[in-house]
Amino acid sequence: MDVGDVGDHAAGPGHIPVLLDRVLEILAPAVQAALDAGRTPVYLDGTLGMGGHAEAMLAAHPALRLIGLDRDTYALERSARRLERFGDRVALEHAVYDEIPEVLDRLDVPRVDAFLFDLGVSSPQLDEADRGFAYSYDAPLDMRMDRTQSLTAAEVVNTYPPAELARILREYGEERFAQRIAAAIVRERAKEPLDSTARLTDLVRTAIPAATRRTGGNPAKRTFQALRIEVNGELEIWRRALPAALDALPVGGRVAVLSYHSLEDRITKQVLATATADHTPPDLPVPLPEHQPRFRLLTRGAEVASETETETNPRAGSVRLRAAERVREAR
């Protein structure tokens, strides 16, 4: 499991879209299939961020229409400026990606030909110190992707019961010292509320055994990942979002997913495995047409970035790409 995207990060001069060429290659046939069918192709970017992938898709396909979703209003503002030159081909929505059905209904869009989900925390969110995502500099314990929501990381560490804190650290951070860290948080907050990333980082460092502190990078990285996932409901949202995206694809439509840690990738793998499976009852001698797979995988396992890309774009070091295409209508 790679958790390098949760805070071991220094502010950089610009945003580099991860696996850009490969994403364009995977999604291009879906755009062409819509054109061949006489439709205006629709591309939905469920995690718009800085708009890098979206800009490249719009530039590569002059007939393409973009629906860009993001829960971060700041990201939407920046992307709107970046994509302004594409005019009315662009529709940006303040929404979380499990709201895809509602967004499509609101925009009166019956189907989407190509989806992209670039999961996890974005580079700008890490770069902005006051967002509290990174342990590499001190900031308020916030971690909200959508700053209009109320729940923050500070509320989690200062109000959650000890057992719930330990569960979050164990399940979402795969932290083997979850119990020790949760107990340390509870002791510390009894003296004074925990309100800064630096205090939390120091607390985690002292809570785990000294031998562990000497290996594996910053010892707080798993705690920060777990809190971020809890604050933003990332895994539960993703469990709802990917099936919703698959349901919106026509035959020939495609979805690409970029994941950055094993928890996200595991959900993606499971959902796509179910969608690409033959559901003929096992006691029948031949496959039944109505039970044939509705989708086919476009990647063998999870694809990773090249060494060249990871050298120029460190965020790509932990990426896992999976993709699928609809081959049959829904039963």
Q: Both 291 and 206 in a single domain?
A: no
Q: Both 222 and 283 in a single domain?
A: no
Structural domain of residue 67, as residue ranges?
4-124+234-326
Task: Please tell me which residue, 95 or 133, carries the higher pLDDT value.
Answer: 95
Q: Give the per-residue pLDDT at 8.
A: 37
Q: Both 77 and 113 in a single domain?
A: yes
Q: Is residue 129 part of a domain?
A: no
Among residues 231, 255, 290, the one where a domain terminates is 231
What average pLDDT does range 305-318 have in this prediction? 92
Q: Both 8 and 112 in a single domain?
A: yes
What average pLDDT does range 280-285 have in this prediction? 66
Q: Give the per-residue pLDDT at 121.
A: 74
Q: Both 205 and 274 in a single domain?
A: no
The reported pTM is 0.89
Does the pLDDT at position 163 exceed 60? yes
Q: Is residue 192 part of a domain?
A: yes
- Is 45 annotated as a binding-site member? no
- Is 279 annotated as a binding-site member? no
Worst-scoring range by mean pLDDT, 2-6, 128-132, 146-150, 282-286?
Answer: 2-6
Among residues 231, 261, 296, the one where a domain terminates is 231
Q: Is residue 266 part of a domain?
A: yes
Q: Both 206 and 252 in a single domain?
A: no
- Is 53 annotated as a binding-site member? yes
Over the chain, what is the mean pLDDT? 89
Q: Is residue 146 part of a domain?
A: yes
Q: Both 161 and 217 in a single domain?
A: yes
Among residues 231, 249, 271, the one where a domain terminates is 231
Does the pLDDT at position 1 exceed 50? no
Q: Both 222 and 310 in a single domain?
A: no
Q: Both 183 and 38 in a single domain?
A: no
- Is 70 annotated as a binding-site member? yes
Q: Both 8 and 117 in a single domain?
A: yes
Residue 206's CATH number: 1.10.150.170
Q: Is residue 108 part of a domain?
A: yes
Q: Both 255 and 214 in a single domain?
A: no
Q: Both 184 and 202 in a single domain?
A: yes
**218: pLDDT confidence band, cut at 50, 70 and 90?**
confident
pLDDT tens-digit readout, 21-36: 999 999 999 999 999 9
Between the alpha carbon of residue 81 and those of residues 17, 86, 122, 202, the distances in Å are 17, 10, 18, 39
State the total domains in the chain: 2
Copy the structure tokens of residue 256: 């690409």
